[in-house]
């Protein structure tokens, strides 16, 4: 999951009798390499063309975010650009889509391509980060950034290559790209268009 770009965002919080706010621009959430799995069922119109319903699960840890930050503490403000490391942050997705797939089951080496659309319920937990204000005599503490949910529209592209044991069973590899748009996580936290790219080992049975 490449970095996820967000629209400008702001958050306010209180700690130790102090009030603070943070505003972010050029906000990018950075993820680590994750894992995914999926399954589906389909209906064949003929030997080469089928329609399938597919669902899966994708999980990635979030390492941190980079942004232009504007902070305010008890009415005093400061600006900075940099990267913040997050603890316990992650993003999980459940992509659900309908795909049109083209494949030739008469070949021993079977290329395939597919295109589809659907939705992708997403939960993003931003975990916490360590706010250190000891230089101001206010100490330090962990700030919980909360958990957010969205259900963006998804456009899917996939392609692969398989080896056929017989006409009704093959094994191979497939790559996919989920293009997501319209992610509104609430409280002003919205994404631009972003893409999730993955690779799967694949086993297919036909009846």
Residue 1 Cα distances to 32, 41, 102, 137, angstroms: 7, 25, 26, 39
Measured distance between the N- and C-terminal CA atoms of the chain, rounded to whole angstroms: 34
Asked if 101 and 60 touch (Cβ cutoff 8 Å), the reply is no
Predicted model pTM: 0.81
Asked if 87 and 63 touch (Cβ cutoff 8 Å), the reply is no
* Reported confidence tier of residue 77, pLDDT bands at 50, 70, 90: low
Asked if 140 and 200 touch (Cβ cutoff 8 Å), the reply is no
CATH architecture of 34-62+86-205: Beta Barrel (2.40)
DSSP secondary structure code for residue 40 in this structure: E
What's the sign of the alpha-carbon dihedral 133, 17, 85, 70?
negative
Ordered by start, the domain boundaries in the chain are 34-62+86-205
Instruction: Report pLDDT digits (tens) over 82-97.
Output: 787 888 899 999 999 9
Instruction: Report pLDDT digits (tens) over 98-154.
Output: 999 999 888 899 999 999 999 999 999 988 876 655 555 555 566 777 889 999 999
Q: Which of 119, 118, 101 is nearest to 110 (CA)?
A: 101
Residue 126 Cα distances to 70, 72, 102, 163, angstroms: 19, 21, 39, 41
**How far is 26 from 32, CA to CA, in rounded Å?**
20
Q: How far is CA 172 from the centre of its chain?
A: 25
């Amino acid at each position: 999951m490449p970095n996820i770009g967000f629209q400008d965002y702001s958050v306010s919080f209180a700690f130790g009798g102090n009030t603070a706010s943070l505003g972010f621009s050029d906000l990018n959430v950075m993820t680590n390499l994750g894992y995914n799995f999926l399954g589906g069922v389909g209906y064949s119109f003929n030997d080469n063309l089928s329609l399938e319903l597919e669902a899966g699960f994708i999980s990635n840890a979030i390492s941190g975010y980079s942004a232009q930050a504007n902070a305010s503490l008890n009415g005093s403000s400061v600006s900075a650009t940099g990267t913040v490391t997050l603890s316990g942050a992650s993003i999980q997705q459940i992509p659900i889509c309908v795909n049109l797939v083209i494949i030739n089951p008469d070949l021993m080496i079977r290329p395939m391509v597919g295109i589809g659309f659907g939705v992708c319920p997403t939960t993003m937990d931003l975990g916490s980060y360590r706010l250190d204000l000891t230089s101001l005599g206010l100490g330090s503490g962990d700030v919980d950034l909360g958990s957010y949910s969205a259900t963006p529209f998804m456009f899917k592209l996939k392609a692969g290559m398989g080896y056929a044991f017989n006409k009704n069973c093959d094994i191979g590899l497939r790559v996919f790209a989920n293009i997501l748009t319209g992610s509104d996580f609430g409280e002003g936290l919205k994404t631009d268009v972003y893409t999730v790219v993955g690779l799967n080992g694949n086993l297919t049975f036909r009846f």
